[in-house]
């Protein structure tokens, strides 16, 4: 990408992920097969597919296909980037056990305590991961794992982390200050354009390898004033690396990216010792903090930066403290001799706190009143719904007729307790419900002639 295109960053240029980059010229030869990863450890996202029973049967019937499937299955039990780490942890204990003149496996309560003591002495913050690797190796060697070993590991981890404190956060760099930094010297294995790489991928809160492994087709840079377009205009093709080292077509290494970040940190004023604390995740807090300084809500930052937890709060906790020295202008209340007048300062602080607390209480009281009003409305709606349901259920399932056995009068049922004419059957024992209408030819009873019952008789007759 041309230097002037990089220089236009932030001056009308816009960068966005692209689903498809510009097509390469037909005469441009491809340097890699489409979709080929730059590294063996690069994660590969497979195309979406549903279960294929025919394919599974085909693999089961072909010994060579099944062998390859089994190899892929076993390899994917660990991410390619984590396999070496797991093996290194097992090897760590193997060497330590040899120094202690004990067998590394099977693990026992005693050897677990030994490993724990060494991890604690070495101030390993990842003791839990070490014990997880050792447990897995123990079980893979066909050794049983009992409750005594589980308890021993739990106690060992508790001892190792006691008093160790919270993880130290990677110091964040102020992305705004990079506009005053000229291009720094590239490092071996790092990106050819260090500052531009940091600016670009900090805006997308990328990890170091997410940036290093991007291809031309993954990002499109548009500049209506300069016409930068996609990197394919410079002779690259869609599957070429977006950023390269001093060697064309070669992507930066993980170590090279981190070294480049540290060199930028030194250029911004950090000491060499402070810069050593910079990790490959530095671009994530840099981008998040810039968004927070611009007033973007933290949940939007969390969404854009792809955080699924509240770790974002750790990255943003320093942003609200900027210019905090101006919060307490009360300290400027000084006596003529230059010393602050304590009584006046205390009184001013108390007044400020009282005003703030009063406002908080008023807002809380107003909120409570609003909540009470909402609850009251919900209760009223609930009662109305209950009454409506009762009425509907009564109308649907109750018998339609009632015979007053004392007066031999047939009434129309209004609800579970009364008839259309107002007869309250719940206070009387002289009645019987009936689902069948009365026989008009019978001389043993007569129909209620009051308006309420007559109206309901008409309704029931229409329904029947």
Domain-wise residue ranges, the chain = 3-18+170-316, 78-161, 333-391, 398-463
pLDDT, position 227: 44
Exposure on the CB side of residue 373, measured as CA atoms within 13 A: 6
Separation CA 134–CA 149 (nearest Å): 11
Q: Are 40 and 249 in contact (CB under 8 A)?
A: no
pLDDT at 11: 36
pLDDT tens for each residue of the chain, 464 residues long: 333 333 333 333 334 444 333 333 333 333 444 556 666 656 566 677 788 899 899 999 999 999 999 988 887 876 665 667 888 999 999 999 999 999 999 999 999 999 999 999 999 989 999 999 999 999 999 999 999 999 999 999 999 999 887 666 666 788 888 888 877 888 999 999 899 899 989 888 888 988 888 888 887 766 655 544 445 555 677 888 888 888 878 889 999 999 999 999 999 888 888 888 888 888 988 888 888 888 888 788 888 888 777 777 777 776 766 665 555 554 454 444 545 555 666 666 666 666 666 777 777 888 888 888 888 888 887 777 766 666 655 556 678 888 888 888 889 888 778 888 988 877 677 888 888 877 777 777 888 989 989 888 888 887 76
CA dist 84 to 70, 88, 207, 217, Å? 20, 6, 20, 31
What's residue 223's pLDDT? 60
Mention every residue, 6+ apart, whose C-beta is less than 8 A from residue 131.
Answer: 112, 115, 116, 153, 156, 157
Per the CB < 8 A criterion, the answer to whether 138 and 145 are in contact is yes
Long-range CB pairs of 106-109, under 8 A, 24+ apart, other chains included: 106/138, 106/141, 106/143, 107/134, 107/135, 107/138, 107/143, 107/149, 108/149, 109/148, 109/149, 109/152
**CA dist., res. 419 & res. 428, Å (int):** 12
138/94 Cα distance (integer angstroms): 12
413 has which bridge partners?
419
pTM over 0.75: no
pLDDT the model gives residue 191: 92
Q: How far apart are CA 156 and CA 113, in angstroms?
A: 6
Instruction: Estimate the crossing angle of helix 127-140 against helix 80-99, to 10 degrees.
Output: 90
190: closest CA among 166, 168, 211, 165? 211
Cα 156 to Cα 121, 140, 159, distances in angstroms? 12, 22, 5
pLDDT of residue 6: 32
Which pLDDT score is estimated for 14? 37
Q: Looking at residue 20, what is its pLDDT?
A: 36
* H-only helix segments in 100-239: 109-121, 127-140, 147-161, 194-202, 208-212
Distance, in Å, from the CA atom of 187 to the CA atom of 200, rounded to the nearest integer, reads 18
Classify residue 193 as left (phi > 0), alpha (psi -120 to 50) or beta: beta
**Cα 46 from Cα 49, distance rounded (Å):** 9
The Cα–Cα gap between 32 and 21 comes to 16
Q: Evaluate whether 270 touches 171 at the Cβ level (below 8 Å).
A: yes
Whether domain 3-18+170-316 has CATH 1.10.443: the reply is yes
Residue 342 CB: number of other CB atoms within 10 A?
Answer: 10
């Amino acid at each position: 990408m041309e230097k002037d295109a990089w220089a236009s960053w932030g001056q009308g240029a816009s960068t966005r992920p692209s689903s498809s980059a510009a097509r390469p010229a037909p005469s441009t030869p491809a340097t890699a097969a489409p979709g080929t990863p730059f590294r063996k450890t690069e994660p590969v996202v497979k195309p979406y597919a549903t279960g294929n029973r025919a394919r599974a049967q085909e693999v089961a019937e072909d010994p060579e296909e099944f062998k390859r499937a089994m190899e892929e299955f076993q390899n994917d039990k660990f991410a390619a980037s984590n396999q070496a780490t797991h093996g290194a942890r097992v090897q760590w204990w193997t060497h330590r056990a040899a120094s202690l003149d004990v067998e590394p496996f099977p693990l026992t309560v005693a050897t677990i305590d030994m490993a724990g003591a060494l991890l604690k002495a070495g101030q390993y913050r990842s003791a839990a991961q070490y014990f997880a690797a050792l447990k897995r190796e123990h079980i893979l060697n066909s050794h049983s794992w009992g409750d005594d070993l589980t308890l021993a590991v739990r106690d060992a981890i508790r001892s190792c982390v006691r008093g160790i404190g919270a993880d130290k956060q990677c110091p964040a760099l102020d992305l705004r200050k990079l506009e005053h930094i000229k291009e720094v010297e590239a490092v071996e294995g790092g990106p050819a354009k260090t500052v531009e790489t940091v600016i670009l991928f900090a805006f997308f809160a990328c990890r170091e390898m997410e940036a290093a492994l991007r291809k031309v087709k993954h990002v499109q840079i548009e500049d209506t004033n300069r016409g930068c377009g996609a990197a394919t205009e410079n002779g690259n093709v869609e599957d070429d690396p977006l950023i390269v080292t001093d060697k064309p077509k070669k992507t930066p290494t993980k170590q090279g990216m981190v070294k480049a970040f540290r060199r930028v940190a030194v250029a911004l004023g950090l000491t060499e010792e402070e810069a050593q604390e910079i990790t490959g995740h530095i671009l994530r807090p840099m981008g998040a903090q810039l968004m927070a300084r611009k007033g973007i809500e933290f949940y939007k930052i969390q969404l854009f930066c792809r955080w699924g937890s509240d770790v974002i709060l750790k990255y943003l906790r320093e942003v609200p403290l900027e210019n905090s020295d101006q919060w307490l202008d009360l300290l400027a209340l000084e006596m003529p001799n230059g010393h602050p007048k304590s009584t006046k300062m205390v009184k001013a602080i108390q007044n400020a706190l009282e005003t703030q607390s009063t406002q908080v209480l008023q807002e809380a009281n107003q909120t409570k009143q609003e909540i009470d009003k909402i609850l009251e409305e919900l209760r009223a709606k609930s009662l109305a719904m209950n009454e409506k349901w009762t009425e509907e259920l009564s109308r649907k399932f109750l018998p339609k007729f009632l015979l007053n056995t004392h007066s031999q009068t047939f009434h129309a049922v209004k609800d579970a307790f009364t008839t259309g004419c107002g007869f309250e059957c719940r206070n009387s024992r002289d009645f019987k419900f009936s689902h069948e209408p009365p026989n008009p030819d019978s001389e043993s009873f007569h129909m209620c002639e009051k308006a309420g019952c007559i109206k309901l008789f008409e309704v029931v007759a229409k329904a029947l």
